Structure formats: structure tokens, C-alpha cells
Structure 1
């Protein structure tokens, strides 16, 4: 039986080109709402339809093989997932706290280095985690099902890609009109509700994300928005705990979020860490050794060993050179990254949810103890663990797909390295174009940057201590933390038939940091997808996620283009 083409030039270039177009979507969405989208299935569909369609028309040359599709989606998803390297969280938080903004080239090198470390950690984790039948890796399994489906039913792939491009065109058109021709109205029933950010946001990206996250998360966002912006915010104004600028009109997001982010961050961090700890150490899921990410080390091979050593040297050197971190402290980030990436990979294998936020905050707490008051060490040391964990989990999903189809792991690693190289360069350029002045533009209604707000709040608290905060904020942190602890525990211990009715702690906390208009539109998108599923369940299963992804991609790509155009006009 002939061996299928795998790491071909066209597969690598197709994935790289798709990464160029898909990475801006995640950077844009990450700065807007703090979430990103797995691009594996979208990249798979686009590559398949293009090359299979071209082969059908030309009737010459080799067909687009299943293994080439896998390599292409690996490159593209690695590029798009590079935002876990810090682009929308610790890097902007570092600028907000220190006032220092890295130039583009050093920033790209840093993002690449922590992602590169995650790739080699994944290589050494692969034998034990991928071979563990208890770990299903849901994201990888979804990609595998899509891969086998399009090669078994080519017409289905063509229909899905038509839906994808149709939704993207609609979303992009709406954003283009809003940006260049006529600013779409942000309507509110009353001036008071407008001041509290309860406006109608004409964003199809938010509707698309709502369709992706589902009803539980959507309703949790809506509940949190009503609680935070409809309940707590008016109380803050009436008690004089937050003072608005004299004569201020319109949404007062920036002034209110400075207080509201504290209980929101506390809720998210405590819920995520308590849930993660229970999932790892509860009875029935393995002993403490397994919880720490038990894995069998491979016998050192020359190339992987050199790759890991190079990654370690690069991360340590850049921490010292770019952020002035002591070399000993920089070296401490490596074993922490190894352990936490193993934990993250195991959690992703079991649940499909990458706990990158929890990994980051856990690392920040650790560095807050060993390096108190050192903001750079706290943020960028934790960035090493979070970035490595993010790229490690992405590659583990690809390894799961590769094992099922007989792909070559070393070729997948090469594809992943190419992807992070593309993603680091493109992601940094997009970030620089969108946010030329982070201190003035971030934590605003236009760019809430909730992930950056979380990292900033944790680092600031650990550096200055709780005594630096007002008593009202400290009480808010305590109450938010207790609520998060309860929700995190219930999420794990509640019977499965009841767990789906619990509010999502991550969404509740996030709604304190997002404008109410954003949470409301995502809840609307979730309800729309749910209602469509009741009426047309078959069509929902086939096209809902594809259409939602198109809405996200269309607006984000157009939004990036609009920002670039505005930047060029002022050069």
C-alpha cells in the first residue's frame, strides 16, 4: 500500500496561509471578550474544499490527501492558538502596570519562545497521555470526526464551507458599514441604562460566539451582567464608592470596571482553581501522582532533546534580556511550566477545556510567594507556564488525531513549529495595529480586554498587598472568592444530571469585566442557536458551529482591516 503524502510543501503553505487569516480573529476576539476559538475544523474545511475543488477542475496532479489535511490544520490551529503565549493577557497587563511596551520583534520572539517550549513538553508527554484510553481529548476527537466525515462525504464539506463564507460575508459587511460608512446605533431604552452599559451592540461576532458557547454559558453571562451592571453598579454610584467624571454622558464602563473587576476576577480564579484541584485529586480519578500529570518519559532522542534545551535557553535568555528577570528566577519557571503543562494536558484530555487561565493565575500566586513585589517576574514568569501549557494542549489534540489516522508525530511537531512561527509574527503585528497605545485603549468599552484585566489585578494585588485596596473592594474580593469556591466545588461534586443547571463560574466572573451590552449579545446568540436547534435539530448539528465561526471570523478580520486602515491614514 503506497504511503500518503503528509508534510508536503503545499500542505505546509496552505496551513501557513490559513494561519495568517485565522490568527487575527483570535487576537481580535481575545481583546474584545477574552475568549478564542479553536480553528482546526475551519482550517480543515477550507483546505479540503480548495484543493479537492481544484483537483476536480484541473483533473491533473495529486489529490489532497487525508494526511495533508491533518498537517495543514495543525499549522493553522497552532498559528491561531498562539495568543495563549500572552498576547491578550500578560503582555498587555505588563504594559498597563509598568508602562513599558515591547517592540514588535522582541514581542514576537517572546511569544514564539514560550510556545516552542510547550511543543517539546507535549512531545515527551505524548506516549503516556495519548495512549491512555481514559483521556478522550474531545477537541481532537471533534477534529478527527470532521476529517473522516469530509473524506467520506465530500459534498457535506462543500455545504459547510458555503455556510461559513456566507456567514463571514454577512458579518464582515455589517462591520464594514459600521466602520466606514455609517456608525450603527448603540441604542438604550433610557439614559440610566446607557450609563450602565445596557446598550444594543450591533455585533454579529458576539452573536456568533453566543452560538458557540451554548445556553448555559450564555444565560450565566446574562445573569452576571444583570447582577454586576444592573445591581452592584447602581449601588456603587448611590453610595459614592465610584465617582463619575463631571458632566459625563454615555456608557461609563471605564470608571465602573475599575471596581467591578475585583469580585469578577476573584470569582473566576477561585472557581477555576478549586475545580481544577478537585478534578485532579478526587477519588476515582487517580492518585496524587496521576493528578500531577503522571507521564512516562521517553528515552532521550537527539533532536527532541536539543529542541527542549533550545527552548529552555531561549525562554530563560529572553526573560533576562527583555524583562530584567534574575536568571535564577527565570530558571524556576521551567520546572513550573513542565508540571503545569502536564496538568493542563491531562485536564484537556479529560474535559476538552484548557485551564490556561487557572494555570496562569496559579503561577502568579507561586511567584507572588517566591518573588514578592516583582511585577515583571510575576507576569512573565507566569506567562511562561501559561503559554507553554496552551501550546502543549493544542498539540496534544493534534497528536490524538494523528494517532487515529497513522500520522507521523515528528512531522506534526514540524508543522506545529511552523504554525507558531507564523502565528507569533502575525499575532504581534495585529496586536500592535489594534492597540498602538495599550494604557489608553485597554480596559475601555471598545477594548475591555478581560484577560489582561485579570492578570493585571492579580499581579497588582500580589505586588501591593490587599491593604492597598479600599475596604469595599476587599469585601468584594472575599465575597467573589467564596462564591467562586462554592461554584467550583459544586461543578465537580454535583450529580451529572444537575451539573448542567449550575451557572458557569467563568462566565459569571467574566460578565463583571465585560460591558453589559457584550454579555447581552452573546446571550442572545446562545438563545438563537438553542431555538434553531429546537426547530431544526439536524441542521443545527451540521451547520450551527460553522455558521457561528463564520460570524466570528468575518467581523474580526474586517475589524482588523479597519484598524489597519485607520493606522495607515495617520502615518
Structure 2
């Protein structure tokens, strides 16, 4: 069944009350089973398992992989098999949606273990007791839920923001569960085709697996690798044609083109406005400012090389300022949306809110945020030595940073947790100079709560698309948090660090994100003078640009072609991903334009045939491939994201969890020989 959604014109012209009434009448399926025992148990089990993969991968790379689409497909396949064996019935689409909310929250809630908590342990040379870590992470997750639902009214109900990864999950579930109809089958085929293509590319790109299991060389991760190694590179150097800007190689400016297509599909879901804004910001940052600042010695190399980390230490301040001012202005410039979120608190029964009975009550957030905030302040002072007033200040900062995080996640599916943490570290570097533990743990509060808020709204998006009950997804988020804690925290303490603080920062447990947090905190010990005057100027310029772009967008009634959040976000992403996302948005925009011209021509031909002698023609012509692609953008992009993500997780597990030494074998025969050594004689 095709997902029902408002047209762009309706989104911009209808009031919030009209949108809520339309959704309740046309989309909501409240009589369908949703948060059932089997969806809850399945989500908690899958989420616990997927939290382990993210735990290991995050410890090795600093990244957390999205697990929503993965859990959707796994649960669908599991219950399809059980149904055919006569052991149960298929999951409903809304049961699967509730399940993915649980699994997703379990998958990403353990990030503090390899970020702020790990950095704190390295700085203090003490390991936080496991029980304290579990309580701390749970309280942060609950505060994220309480901040999320008042924002849902604006970002999902009113503005209908895409939340690309959530949209992809919704399309996947619709295609899987509604595939009895012809349209559903067609979408499922597109989904499968895109997934297989993306998965194949991820497999071919993996060096260890291709070498160990197939004795083949992997395809390069970047199209430009031949320019930096081998005879051709030497020839370019002799001719003075090495690819560089102002003497800095393009690859050290992250100006490279990735062979993966996952971010291309993400761009297809985010739209041309965001894609163009990202590209313009990326060109300004990486093609103009970074080479100039490197040439003048303002951006310094790390270990003799530049790259994303070195450039971002300068660029993130202006980028985050742009995102901050635009997010705050956009939020407070629509007071009616804010007031609508709080209606029903003074009027008995909430007469004007048609969704009052199925949304999480805003009253719960108003009462809960101060209570949970006090708990965090008290625990922060008892366990981490954060003065109560500094801890209390972190709570309103959470609101500001949650706006930024949600804005970013809504249009790109990327939550800038690291950048927000650094911004908090900068703030507390001024408020509490020389206090490194306060610097780290307050950053952990703001960044992790903002991340939970943004990711919960990402989970809610598919439920809104499919007609699910928001309250069930809020409860599912809490269940998922418990599932992730119960398994991943003991594994972290008992298997990975084993009571040895010296394991942090080693080859087996590099925790790169924690090392970055620790490094920023140590730099801030010197005071805010470490910021170069150009970075301070960038903060002012970024703040002004953010407001001007947002004001212009509203004055032109959303016709202004740029997004302030995307412009700012370009300064904290690498250009490789920026280019891929722009390319995806541009390709699907071209398809939409060409499809629109075909439909217009077809309408003209139909009108002419109706007025001609003999009446209408026998049958309409088959739709061309570009029209089909434009009409099924979500299915194609969702398939690519799902296939690439599944393969990426599988390869990461192979590379991190399953006998890493075996994967270093030069051939499949040698690998099997090493495996046999582990078997009993």
C-alpha cells in the first residue's frame, strides 16, 4: 500500500490543526496491534545483540551504526519463517515499527561508554563503577525522551521533516508488509535491487574479507587512490600536477569521491535544497577557507598530515554557531506551534488537540524534565564532582543542543553529537576553567541527551508515516534503553576493559571518540585563548549567517533555496560525504524534473485525444524508467541504505568480533587452517 502523505504545497499551507486532523483520518491505524509482547521481546533481544555490535564498532572506530532498518528486516524474516512453520503469525507492520523503536534505542544508547565515560576514566585514571554507569546512562536516555515529544509537534507533525533514515525504515516496512498488492511487490523488488547493489559494493570494498575469504583484491574505497600511490602518482609529481589546493593534497582536505553509494541514497531522501546547501558550505570550507588557513599556519597538521580532524578543530565553531542561531530562531519564530504543544494543560481535556489521546502528554515533559534534571545534577555532583550550578546550567543547554541535533538529523540523518560535545566543552572551559572532569561530564550530558532526543524522533518518523501510536514508541524507547544496558554495559566492563584502565587507547580498544574528548578538554585547560582569532570571527559570522538565511527562508515562504542548518553542518562533515549526499539529491531532483515534464506532456496528449474524433486512445503508454524511479525514490534509496548498512554491520562484526587474526590470513585455505586450530583434537 502506498504511504499516504501530504504534498509539499499542503505542508506549507495547512495549519498544524488541519495536518493533525488529516493524519488522524487518513493515516492513523490505532486498531492494529503495535506494542505487543512479541514485538517488545523481539525488539529487546535484537536490540541487545545489535547494541553489542555498536559497542565494539564504536570502541574501534568512534562511530555508531544505525540499526533500525536492520532490525526491521531481521524481525520480518524471523516471523515469516515462524509463520510458514506453523509456529505463529506474521508481524503486523505496526508491530514491526514498535519493535524497531526498541531495537534502535538499544543499539545507540551505549555511546557514553566509548565517549564521555571512557574519557573521564582516562583523565582520572579511575574506572567508574558499573552500576553508576548504568544508572547515569539510563537517566540521560529518559531525559532525551522527555525533550523529544514537545519537539515532535514541530518537526514531524507540522514541518513534516524527512528524517531520511527513519523515512527509509518506514518505506522498508511498507514494502515488506504490504507486498501482496502489485505496487507493494514492485516496491519490494526495487528495495531488493537497491539493497543487493549496495551490499555488493560494500563487500567488494572490504580489504580483509576479499583477501581472506576470496583471495581477491578489494576495489578502492575512493576513486582517486591511483593519484596518490604507484607509478602514475610519481609521474604527476614530476610534471608538477599533483592534485592539491595551495599546496595541500586534495585527499588531506577530504576532497575525495567515495565508491560507496549509501550516502548517495541518503542525499536522495534529503532533497535538493539540503544537498545544494551542504555543497556550498563544503566548497567554502574545504576548497577556500581550509587551504588558505593551512597555508598561513592557522590550521596545523596532526602527525605530519592534515585531514578531517585537523580542519574540524577550526571549522566546527563557525558551523555550530550557524546551526545554533538558525535553529533557535526557527523554533521561537513560530510561537503558535510551541503554544499548541502545550494546549490542554490549562483547558480540561485538551479540546483543540485531536491527538491528545495518543501523543505522549506534554504535561509529562513539563513535570518530568525538572525532576530528571535534578536527579542528573545530584548524581553529577556526587559521582563526578560537578558543582550543582554548573550541572543545572547543562539542562537548558540540552534544550538548545537538542534543537540543533534534531534539525540536523531531520534533514540529513546525521546527528552531530561530537560537535555538540565540543561546543559544551568550550562553554564550560569559560565557566569552569582548569576543571577537566566538569568539562567532560557536562559535555556528556548535553551531547548524549541531544543525541537521544534526535534519534527518538528518527524512530517516531516511520510510525507517523505508517499510522502508529506515538505513546507506544516512547514506551518502546525506554524498553530498548533497558535492553541495551543489561547486556552491553556488563560486556564492556567484564570483557573489554576487565578492570584495567591501561586498555583504553590501545590497538584493541582505541576509543578514538574518547581520545578526542580528552584532547579537547586538555587543550581547554589552557583557557579560551587557544581559539585563534579567525575562529572567534567565524563564530560571529556563522551566527549572523544562520539568522539571515532562516529569516530569508521564512520571508520568502520557504522558497529560498538554502538551508542554514545544512550550511553549518557542512563545516563539521567531511567533503567526501557532502559530495555523495549532494550527488544523490541532484540525481533524484533531475529524475523528478524529467518525470514532471513527461506527466505534463502526457496530460496534454490526453486532452487532445479526448477532443479528437474517435475519443480517447485505447491504453495509456507505459511509464518510462525515470518516471518510475522518481515515483519510487523512497523505496530505491531505502533499499540502498538497508543493503549497505546490513553488509557494513556484517563486515564490521567479521573484522572486529570474529577472529581478527584469521581475517588477516592471505588465503581462504590459511584462514580455515587457523580456524581448525581452535577446535578440540
TM-score by structure 2 length?
0.61
Unpaired segments of 5 or more residues in structure 1? none
- State whether residues 281 and 287 of structure 1, in contact with CA within 8 Å, keep that contact through their aligned partners in structure 2: no
Residue in 2 aligned with 1:475?
Answer: 534
- State whether residues 92 and 438 of structure 1, in contact with CA within 8 Å, keep that contact through their aligned partners in structure 2: yes
Alignment of 1:324 onto 2:385: yes
Residue in 2 aligned with 1:564?
Answer: 657
User: CA separation in 2, counterparts of 1:102 and 1:208?
Assistant: 40
Residue in 2 aligned with 1:371?
Answer: 432
Where in structure 2 are the equivalents of 1:106-185 lying within 5 Å?
Answer: 107=133, 109-120=135-146, 125=150, 129=153, 134=158, 136=160, 138-139=162-163, 151-154=177-180, 155-156=184-185, 158-159=188-189, 162-163=192-193, 165-167=195-197, 169-178=199-208, 181=211, 182=217, 184-185=219-220
- State whether residues 322 and 568 of structure 2, in contact with CA within 8 Å, keep that contact through their aligned partners in structure 1: yes
Residue in 2 aligned with 1:417?
Answer: 478
User: CA separation in 2, counterparts of 1:27 and 1:531?
Assistant: 40
**Residues 517 and 45 (structure 1), Cα distance of their counterparts in 2 relative to 1, 3 Å cut:** closer
Q: 1:278 aligns with which of 324, 329, 332?
A: 329
Shift of 1:544: 1.6
Q: 1:266 aligns with which of 317, 329, 333?
A: 317
Unpaired segments of 5 or more residues in structure 2? 1-29, 212-216, 244-248, 349-360, 595-625, 665-681
User: CA separation in 1, counterparts of 2:470 and 2:58?
Assistant: 30
Q: Deviations over 1:137-184 (max 9, x none)?
A: 654788667656655444447536634652463144224444561465
Residue in 2 aligned with 1:388?
Answer: 449
User: CA separation in 1, counterparts of 2:451 and 2:266?
Assistant: 20
User: CA separation in 1, counterparts of 2:388 and 2:394?
Assistant: 10
Shift of 1:274: 0.8
Q: Deviations over 1:416-438 (max 9, x none)?
A: 2221233456777699979x977
**Residues 559 and 347 (structure 1), Cα distance of their counterparts in 2 relative to 1, 3 Å cut:** closer
Residue in 1 aligned with 2:17?
Answer: none
**Residues 30 and 526 (structure 1), Cα distance of their counterparts in 2 relative to 1, 3 Å cut:** farther
**Residues 45 and 517 (structure 1), Cα distance of their counterparts in 2 relative to 1, 3 Å cut:** closer
Residue in 2 aligned with 1:548?
Answer: 641
Shift of 1:72: 0.8
Shift of 1:344: 7.2
User: CA separation in 2, counterparts of 1:238 and 1:135?
Assistant: 43
**Residues 24 and 372 (structure 1), Cα distance of their counterparts in 2 relative to 1, 3 Å cut:** same
- State whether residues 195 and 642 of structure 2, in contact with CA within 8 Å, keep that contact through their aligned partners in structure 1: no
**Residues 106 and 528 (structure 1), Cα distance of their counterparts in 2 relative to 1, 3 Å cut:** farther
State which structure, 1 or 2, has the greater radius of gyration over its C-alpha atoms: 2
- State whether residues 268 and 584 of structure 2, in contact with CA within 8 Å, keep that contact through their aligned partners in structure 1: yes
Shift of 1:561: 3.0
Shift of 1:273: 1.0
- State whether residues 373 and 462 of structure 1, in contact with CA within 8 Å, keep that contact through their aligned partners in structure 2: yes
The higher relative CO (CA closer than 8 Å, separation ≥ 6) is in 1
- Matched residue of 1:253: which SS? coil
Residue in 1 aligned with 2:620?
Answer: none
- State whether residues 79 and 88 of structure 2, in contact with CA within 8 Å, keep that contact through their aligned partners in structure 1: no
Residue in 1 aligned with 2:76?
Answer: 48
- Matched residue of 2:386: which SS? coil
User: CA separation in 2, counterparts of 1:205 and 1:101?
Assistant: 37
Alignment of 1:253 onto 2:306: yes
Aligned CA RMSD, in angstroms, stands at 5.5
User: CA separation in 2, counterparts of 1:563 and 1:349?
Assistant: 28
Q: Deviations over 1:162-219 (max 9, x none)?
A: 3465246314422444456146553326565457525565545555555555555555
Q: 1:490 aligns with which of 536, 549, 552?
A: 549
User: CA separation in 2, counterparts of 1:403 and 1:233?
Assistant: 41
User: CA separation in 1, counterparts of 2:132 and 2:661?
Assistant: 23
**Residues 227 and 308 (structure 1), Cα distance of their counterparts in 2 relative to 1, 3 Å cut:** closer
Residue in 2 aligned with 1:58?
Answer: 85
Alignment of 1:14 onto 2:42: yes
**Residues 271 and 242 (structure 1), Cα distance of their counterparts in 2 relative to 1, 3 Å cut:** closer
- State whether residues 50 and 103 of structure 2, in contact with CA within 8 Å, keep that contact through their aligned partners in structure 1: yes
**Residues 506 and 230 (structure 1), Cα distance of their counterparts in 2 relative to 1, 3 Å cut:** closer
Shift of 1:564: 3.0
- Matched residue of 2:227: which SS? coil
User: CA separation in 2, counterparts of 1:506 and 1:35?
Assistant: 21
Shift of 1:275: 0.3
**Residues 290 and 363 (structure 1), Cα distance of their counterparts in 2 relative to 1, 3 Å cut:** farther
**Residues 349 and 270 (structure 1), Cα distance of their counterparts in 2 relative to 1, 3 Å cut:** closer
- State whether residues 324 and 543 of structure 2, in contact with CA within 8 Å, keep that contact through their aligned partners in structure 1: no
Please state which structure has a larger fraction of its residues in helix: 1
Residue in 1 aligned with 2:106?
Answer: 79
- State whether residues 209 and 552 of structure 1, in contact with CA within 8 Å, keep that contact through their aligned partners in structure 2: no
Residue in 2 aligned with 1:506?
Answer: 568
Residue in 2 aligned with 1:69?
Answer: 96
- Matched residue of 1:499: which SS? coil
**Residues 541 and 138 (structure 1), Cα distance of their counterparts in 2 relative to 1, 3 Å cut:** closer
User: CA separation in 2, counterparts of 1:375 and 1:424?
Assistant: 27
User: CA separation in 2, counterparts of 1:218 and 1:402?
Assistant: 26
- Matched residue of 1:504: which SS? helix
